Amino acid sequence: MDGTEIERIYAGICDGDKGVIAQAITLVEDRHDQADALLERLYPHTGRAHVIGITGPPGAGKSTLVNEIARIWVTQGLRVGIIAIDPSSPFSQGAVLGDRVRMRGVSGQQHVFIRSLANRGFLGGLSRSTADVVKILDGAGMDVIVIETVGVGQSEVAVCELAHTVVVVAVPNAGDAVQTLKAGLLEIADVFVVNKCDVIGAENTVRQLRQMLAIRRTPDMGDRPSRWDIPLLKTNALVPEGVTDVVRSVDEHRHYLRSSGLWETREARRVTNEVELLLREDVVPRFLDRARQSGLWDTLLPRVISRELSPLNMAHRLAEIPIIASSNADEKE
């Protein structure tokens, strides 16, 4: 794979060619050595899409709901990208990805692209490449991109670092509702959905959640009061019932972000998170390799062993090594 191949893939993505989009996603998923070049090419053409996270406990009906939401978006003439993430097995690194079972209604439609991802051991309910997959779908001209992810605990809510709008899905069961609250899901919700409102006990749960929402802390406020009242919506995704309200609330939230200036705040947060992750997982390991391979390492090591220098001192001296390899830097060494 070379520059012309990257150019072909780039053009295919911009054309919305599904086969090429799919291939590009595999490249970033596999961390292929040409993936960076592709993303570099693509990045200036991203930033249009409204990115929506849908999270909640397993079995809450997220996939079923995504299918119904997407169905409405399609009738509105929107292009829809769906990223459905499930955990990989910690033992084999393999995964069974079953979200598409519930998405047959929109699967295969011209303006819908669905991709199932395994988190491949990445924490927070996302996969390591999710941000890059979003960029590919964004560059392909998707108006809305949904990320479906399982949210069960504090660490499973990384989706809010990627999404403009977070929809939390709960189910009517007093225990579950409290569980949802404990998991910190309430804190990240921009839109709160109680699905399966056809089952007994739904009214109770909704009442309970309404009280909880009333006393919820509102992040994102900065120094001005937040004017976004988190909607609490009831759905029955099977019928479906109440789904148009979810679609409306999600769109209203986008308007709210845009008109309040919070869109930019969230963009800044998304980029900050991504750059921090890249520094941690990409730049630092590469720097470590360079440091280890530098002559300086071997020169300093005996001096630390003999107690002439401290380990901290050695680390600080190594930190002088340029992080990015360049011919200049090599001359200096």
Partner 1 sequence: MASHTIRVLLCKTTMESHDRGVRFLATKLRDAGMEVIYLNFLEPVEVVDTAIEEDVDVIGLSSSVEGHVAVLEAVTSQLQTRGHRRVLVLVGGVIPEEDIAPLQAMGVQGVFGPGSYVSDIIQFIHDHVPARV
Ligand X SMILES: Nc1nc2c(ncn2[C@@H]2O[C@H](COP(=O)(O)OP(=O)(O)O)[C@@H](O)[C@H]2O)c(=O)[nH]1
Point out which residues bind partner 1 (CB under 8 A).
1, 18-19, 21-23, 25-26, 29-33, 88-89, 91-98, 100-101, 104, 107-108, 113-116, 118, 120
Q: Does 138 bind Mg ion (CB under 5 A)?
A: no
User: Cβ of residue 127: shortest distance to partner 1, in angstroms?
Assistant: 11
DSSP of 232-278, one letter per residue?
EEE-BTTTTBSHHHHHHHHHHHHHHHHHHTHHHHHHHHHHHHHHHHH
Q: Between 112 and 157, name the residue whose CB sits nearer to partner 1.
A: 112
The dihedral through the CA atoms of 256, 237, 160, 107 has a sign that is negative
Instruction: Give yes or no for residue 173 binding Mg ion (CB under 5 A).
Output: no
Nearest to ligand X of 53, 61 (CB atom): 61
Both tokens of 168, joined, read 């939390």
Q: Which does 91 bind (CB under 5 to 8 A by kind): ligand X, Mg ion, partner 1, none?
A: partner 1
Question: Which of Mg ion, ligand X, partner 1, none does 196 bind, CB closer than 5 to 8 A by kind?
Answer: ligand X
CB of 220 to partner 1, least distance (A): 34
From the list ligand X, Mg ion, partner 1, none, pick the one residue 237 interacts with, judged by a Cβ distance below 5 to 8 Å according to partner type: ligand X
Contacting residue, 63, 127, 149, 180, with Mg ion by CB under 5 A: 63
Cα angle for residues 201, 98, 110 (degrees, 5° grid):
105
Least CB distance from residue 52 to partner 1, whole Å?
Answer: 19
Nearer Cβ to ligand X (63/165): 63
Spell 134-160 as b/e; 16+ CB within 10 A means b. bbbbbbbbbbbbbbbbbbbeeebbbbb
Min separation Cβ 225 and partner 1, Å: 43
Q: Please state the closest distance from residue 158 (CB atom) to ligand X, in A.
A: 17
DSSP assignment, residue 230?
P
CA distance 265 to 285: 29
CB of 114 to ligand X, least distance (A): 13
Footprint of ligand X on this chain (CB under 6 A)? 58-64, 99, 102, 195-196, 198-199, 236-238
**DSSP characters over 13-75:** HHHT-HHHHHHHHHHHHTT-TTHHHHHHHHGGG---SEEEEEEESTTSSHHHHHHHHHHHHHH
Nearest approach, Cβ of 87 to Mg ion (angstroms)? 11
94 binds, among partner 1, ligand X, Mg ion, none (CB under 5 to 8 A by kind): partner 1
Query: Is residue 99 a contact point for Mg ion (CB under 5 A)?
Result: yes
With respect to partner 1, which residue has the nearer C-beta, 100 or 248? 100
Sheet holding 80-86, edge to edge: 112-118, 80-86, 144-150, 50-56, 165-170, 191-194, 232-234
Give burial (CB, 10 Å; 0-12/13-18/19+) of 263.
middle
Picked from ligand X, Mg ion, partner 1, none, the partner binding residue 96 (CB below 5 to 8 A depending on kind) is partner 1
Using CB under 5 A as the binding rule, whether residue 67 contacts Mg ion is answered as: no
Residue-wise DSSP of 156-207: G-GGGGT-SEEEEEE-S-HHHHHHHHHTTHHHH-SEEEE--TTSTTHHHHHH
Closer CB to partner 1, 110 or 306, in the complex: 110
Residue with tokens 């395994």: 118
- SS3 for 215? coil
Q: Which is nearer to ligand X, 127 or 236 (CB)?
A: 236
Listed ranges 99-107, 175-183, 237-245, 314-322: which one lies at the site for Mg ion (CB under 5 A): 99-107
**Binding residues for Mg ion (CB under 5 A):** 62-63, 99
